[in-house]
Amino acid sequence: MTDALHILSLGKGGWGGALLLAAGVTFALSILGFLLGAFFGAVAASGGLSPRAVPSWLAKAYGTVFRGVPDLLTIYLLYYGGSIALTEIGKLFGSAGFVGLPTFATGVLAIGIISGAYQAEVYRGAYLAVDPGQFEACKALGVARFHSLRLVIIPQLMRHALPGLGNVWQLVLKDSALISVIGLVELMRQSQIGAGSMREPFVFYLAAAALYFLIAAVTGSVFRYGETRAWRGMVHA
Amino acid sequence: MIDLHFFVEIIPTLLSGLPLTLQLAGLSIAIGFALALLLALAQQGNHRMLVWPIRAFVAVFRGTPLLVQIFLIYYGLGQFRPTLQAVGLWWLFREPYWCAIIALSLNTAAYGSEILRGAIQGVPRGLVEAASAFGMTRIQTLRLVVLPLALRQAIPSYSNEIILMVKGTSLASIVTLMEVTGIAQGLISQTYRAVEVFVAAGAIYLTINFTIISALNALETWLTPYRVRA
């Protein structure tokens, strides 16, 4: 037990600092991926809500593929696919070796694409939950479409979207561990490195689990606070 | 651009990983469901000594990545080899196959128990009271009234969980099991054709998931003949 404390200490020879730093990378990776996913999700949701066939079909295909295929496979596609393309471009400029994609950017993109597919469903459902009278009132008052979305619809839509977004965020945080397979030193990869070099896998993976749990718990309460705030002044069941 | 010959070549290779994918998914979904049902029922009694540890188990397995859970069980517990050998469990924790199944089962049990707990609590109280007014024992009420209704109610949420588990089996490739995703990764690094391999392997997973969703939808319709689905 004292061994474990020594290994995980923040001082000299301890891995605590490295693990905390890696937890920071995990957090940054998740946040940026989640925000990128919000963009993809919003675009896909508006496609899914469109009465036209092509956007609605594209949105549906995007959702079906990236929610149905293992996330690991998507990560391999982006990393290897991107690196192979980059290597080909490198050859044109006379570089001979394999050019790897930057792992952090690839991770953000992968999480963005995957979580966007989930977020699209959340936004679509939340949009449909907004009272149709609100749209009609905007039209009756002559509010421009962009303004009615920004000032009236989206604030109300977020009330319905927040619980679902909270679930997607938890999914994103846990998915970020998979980015370790392409070599990005986030919390999972740093624990693997520590476990290998100290020959103490149990201590390191337990510490990683605890840190993931902590991040999930703290950020979860931020979402709950946001929910209370979004509903302030409203009576709801 | 897209080479049909290449698809014809890689599909049998990828399909050779399908039995393992299906085994991992099938076994862990079945074990996980049995465990989830036990955990959900154990929480109905409101015994603090029972409810508190279950809540903790559920929170831990839902709050940490599946990959960490697999590593903790496979590499982490491997550190306690002498103890595991002494209690005769080493054969289980030595094999990546069983470690993956243990991790996947425990993970889905945690999520599943929450789904089933909600469904059991959703059974109208009046029905339970009516059953006891008819003189049914608690076991009879559970078997004939509460569980049939709760399980039917749980089908849509539980089918989402099953899909997540099918996708989750891909993590077994990280602990050396060559299921469909593991084979796909090997093919990508050999052939450098990421898009084609993704399309072929993705199609296999989409087919599995589509089959499961259709089967569960059919089951739900069959169990709810009076309800016309929108």
Q: Is the pLDDT of residue B14 over 70?
A: yes
Q: Is A107 part of a structural domain of the chain? A: yes
For B15-62, what is each residue's pLDDT tens digit? 999 999 999 999 999 999 999 999 999 998 878 899 999 999 999 999
Query: Can you give the pLDDT at residue B181?
Result: 97
Instruction: Say what percent of chain B tops pLDDT 70.
Output: 97
Return the SS3 of A8: coil
Query: Can you give the pLDDT at residue B226?
Result: 78
Q: Do A202 and B209 touch (CB under 8 A)?
A: no
For A98-110, what is each residue's pLDDT tens digit? 788 899 999 999 9
**What is the residue range of A197's domain?**
17-230
The whole-angstrom distance between B75's CA and the closest CA on chain A is 6
> Which residues in chain B have their CB less than 8 angstroms from residue A68's CB?
163, 167, 202, 205-206, 209-210
Q: Is the pLDDT of residue A218 over 80?
A: yes
Phi/psi of residue B136, each to 5°? Answer: -75, 145
Nearest CA in chain A to B60: A213
Q: How far apart are CA B155 and CA B166, in angstroms?
A: 16
Q: How far apart are CA B15 and CA A221, in angstroms?
A: 44
Phi/psi of residue B131, each to 5°? Answer: -60, -40
Q: Do B63 and A200 touch (CB under 8 A)?
A: no
Taking each helix axis from N to C end, the angle separating A16-49 and A201-230, rounded to the nearest 10 degrees, works out to 40
Which CATH topology does B21-177 take?
A: MetI-like fold (1.10.3720)
Which residue from B205, B106, B212 is spatially nearest to A73, judged by alpha carbons? B205
B89-108 mean pLDDT: 95
For B116-143, what is each residue's pLDDT tens digit? 999 999 999 999 999 999 999 999 999 9
Query: Can you give the pLDDT at residue A97?
Result: 76
**Strand residue runs (E) in chain A:** none
Residue A73: pLDDT band with limits 50, 70, 90: very high
Query: Can you give the pLDDT at residue B141?
Result: 94
Query: Can you give the pLDDT at residue A12?
Result: 76
Number of domains in chain A: 1
Q: Do B68 and A202 touch (CB under 8 A)?
A: no
Q: Is A11 part of a structural domain of the chain? A: no
Query: Can you give the pLDDT at residue B4?
Result: 84
Return the SS3 of B67: helix
Do residues A126 and A158 touch, judged by C-beta distance below 8 A? yes
B195-222 mean pLDDT: 94
- Amino acid sitting at position A190: Q
Q: Is the pLDDT of residue B159 over 60?
A: yes
Q: Is the pLDDT of residue A186 over 90?
A: yes
Mean of per-residue pLDDT scores for chain B: 93
Nearest CA in chain B to A208: B68
Which residue from A114, A120, A33 is spatially nearest to A75, judged by alpha carbons? A114
Query: Can you give the pLDDT at residue B77?
Result: 93
Query: Can you give the pLDDT at residue A3?
Result: 77
> Which residues in chain B have their CB less than 8 angstroms from residue A173's CB?
65
Domain range list for chain B: 21-177
Which residue from A188, A64, A178 is spatially nearest to A121, judged by alpha carbons? A64
Q: By mean pLDDT, which of A42-51, A80-89, B199-208 is the weakest?
A: A80-89
Nearest CA in chain B to A179: B67
Residue A90: pLDDT band with limits 50, 70, 90: confident
A34-59 mean pLDDT: 95
- Choose the mutation target among A3, A26, A29, A72 for the interface with B, i.e. most B CBs under 10 Å: A72
A115's CB contacts (< 8 A; 6+ apart) are: A33, A34, A37, A40, A41, A168, A171, A172, A175
Q: CA-CA distances (angstroms) from residue A61 to A66, A69, A180, B144?
A: 9, 12, 28, 41
Which residue from A183, A205, A179 is spatially nearest to A192, judged by alpha carbons? A205
B97 touches chain A (CB under 8 A): no
Q: CA-CA distances (angstroms) from residue B88 to A202, B31, B74, B105, B190?
A: 20, 21, 16, 21, 41
Which residue from B212, B222, B221 is spatially nearest to B29, judged by alpha carbons? B212
Do residues B58 and A195 touch, judged by C-beta distance below 8 A? no
Q: How far apart are CA B217 and CA B208, in angstroms?
A: 14
For A148-176, what is each residue's pLDDT tens digit? 989 999 888 999 999 999 999 999 999 99
Query: Can you give the pLDDT at residue A39?
Result: 97
A66-87 mean pLDDT: 94
- Choose the mutation target among B174, B190, B198, B204 for the interface with A, i.e. most A CBs under 10 Å: B198
CA torsion through residues A24, A30, A34, A37, sign: positive
Q: Is the pLDDT of residue A2 over 70?
A: no
> Which residues in chain A have their CB less than 8 angstroms from residue B212's CB?
none
Longest pairwise C-alpha distance within chain B: 72
For A123-155, what is each residue's pLDDT tens digit? 999 999 998 899 899 999 999 988 998 999 988
Q: Is the pLDDT of residue A233 over 90?
A: no
Q: How far apart are CA A20 and CA B118, in angstroms?
A: 36
B211-227 mean pLDDT: 89
CA torsion through residues B205, B208, B210, B213, sign: negative
Query: Can you give the pLDDT at residue A87?
Result: 87
Which residue from B17, B31, B107 is spatially nearest to B67, judged by alpha carbons? B107
Q: Is the pLDDT of residue A94 over 70?
A: yes
Q: How far apart are CA A113 and CA A81, in angstroms?
A: 15
> Nearest by CB to B79, which of A70, A178, A201?
A201
**Strand residue runs (E) in A70-164:** none
Query: Can you give the pLDDT at residue B228?
Result: 59
- Domain with residue A187: its CATH number is 1.10.3720.10
Residue B1: pLDDT band with limits 50, 70, 90: low
Q: Do B65 and A212 touch (CB under 8 A)?
A: yes
Query: Can you give the pLDDT at residue B229?
Result: 53
Q: What is the DSSP letter of A143?
A: -
Quick count: other Cβ atoms within 10 Å of Cβ A158? 15
Assign 3-class secondary structure to B179-226.
Answer: CHHHHHHHHHHHHCCHHHHHHHHHHHHHHHHHHHHHHHHHHHHHHCCC
Residue B111: pLDDT band with limits 50, 70, 90: very high
Q: How far apart are CA B200 and CA B16, in angstroms?
A: 13
> Which residues in chain B have their CB less than 8 angstroms from residue A221's CB?
none
Q: CA-CA distances (angstroms) from residue A23 to A99, A214, A216, B73, B138?
A: 27, 10, 12, 21, 48
